[in-house]
Amino acid sequence: MRRSATDVLGGVPDNATLRRFLHGLPGVDAVGLEQRAAALGTRSIKTTSKAWALDRIIELIDLTTLEGADTPGKVRSLVAKAQHPDASDPSCPAVAAVCVYGDMVAAAIEALGERHGDPDDGGISVAAVATAFPSGRASMQIKLADTAEAVAAGADEIDMVIDRGAFLAGDYATVFEQIAHVKQACARTDGSYASLKVILETGELTTYDNIKRASWLAILAGGDFIKTSTGKVQPAATLPVTLLMLEVVRDWYRLTGERIGVKPAGGIRTSKDAVKYLVTVAETVGEEWLQPHLFRFGASSLLNDVLLQRQKLTTGAYSGPDYVTLD
């Protein structure tokens, strides 16, 4: 059972209570955070082989098309790539999910057919961006309708964006209420819920302290994942920011026993960089987080490099991260 925000906060989640809690969190030592991230980027991960690391990266990718010119045909091509990333190698695993606009959910589900399902069980999820992605500038009524329509169409996951303007103005209660209401809009007719990823758009939050507070706020309001970015704003995902968010998830787990997912999105383009994220996850929250319901890469261009390095590995021409240990 999810711990309620009132329980954790010791009061109702109004602006005064949220401000007291969020501004009572220890401040972020920026130099220390960046030094930890740099050090983690050079550590080895407990794996059986480099091949394991490359395959695990593929299994954690959300393959995405979020363009105004998207068509059902383009979504079918995306789904084909998601199911068979390397058409020449049947041993290549599928990705975790495809991520599309809400009006393309039905096309994605139809294209997936029997493969549509839980990625932890070998299926491929369908995620939909919602709540006036990527700006988040819309009325609450529109945001909720956007979410509910995607869930009704069969979306397994909803990627929402927070109101960065409200957050930066210190109106934490508005941001909390919007996330909480969107979570309710994720409800299905059978009583279950689509998984809710809350996009912080960290590149617009300016400071590590703001990112830490926004991460806590998103979790308190009911987010199942905290996600760095839309991929439309720079800087997007960085290793220090992802480390900070993982530390928040770790602290939440220690406080409540509940596991929350993390999704870095945007700017992760090479297998070498992706392995640094695997290492950071394993060293910060544990290797049990390296599964689709707890960690994702929002980095479609990353897949091409991973496939290239995977192919090179079979020919002895691998040029990826050398510090992944071989058992």
Virtual CA dihedral for 12, 17, 22, 26, nearest 10 degrees? Answer: -110
pLDDT of residue 300: 82
List b or e across 80-111, with b for residues whose CB sees 16 or more CB atoms inside 10 angstroms. Answer: ebbbebbeeeeebbbbbbbbbbbebbbbbbeb
Question: CB burial class (10 A; 0-12, 13-18, 19+) of residue 174?
Answer: middle
What is the reported pLDDT for 2?
81
End-to-end CA distance of the chain: 39
Of 62, 146, 156, 159, which is the active-site residue? Answer: 159
User: Among the options 227, 273, 276, 305, which is catalytic?
Assistant: 227
Contacts by residues 190-194 (CB-CB < 8 Å, ≥ 24 positions apart): 194/150, 194/151, 194/155, 194/156, 194/157, 194/158
The answer to whether the beta carbons of residues 226 and 262 sit under 8 Å apart is yes
User: Residue for token digits 């695997």?
Assistant: 278
Q: Which of 263, 273, 276, 305 is catalytic?
A: 263
pLDDT at 50: 84
User: In 3D, which of 322, 215, 213, 242 has the Cα closest to residue 37?
Assistant: 242
Task: Judge contact between 161 and 135, C-beta under 8 A.
Answer: yes
Would you state the structure tokens that stand for residue 72, as one six-digit string?
């059902």
Is 32-314 assigned to CATH 3.20.20.70?
yes
Query: Is 143 one of the annotated active-site residues of the chain?
Result: no
pTM across the whole model: 0.94
| Helix or strand run (H / E) with residue 41 | none
Sorted by where each begins, the domain ranges of the chain are: 32-314
- pLDDT truncated to tens, each residue of the chain (327 aa)? 788 999 999 999 999 999 999 999 999 999 999 999 999 988 765 555 788 999 999 999 999 999 999 999 999 999 999 999 999 999 999 999 999 999 999 999 999 999 999 999 999 999 999 999 999 999 999 999 999 999 999 999 999 999 999 999 999 999 999 999 999 999 999 999 999 999 999 999 999 999 999 999 999 999 999 999 998 998 999 999 999 999 999 999 999 999 999 999 999 999 999 999 999 999 999 999 999 999 999 988 899 999 999 998 877 765 555 545 433
Cα(199)–Cα(133) distance, integer angstroms: 10
Is 146 among the residues known to form the active site? no
263 included as an active-site residue: yes
Residue 28 is given by DSSP the state P
Helices and strands of the chain, counted as H and E runs: 13, 7
Amino acid at 26: P
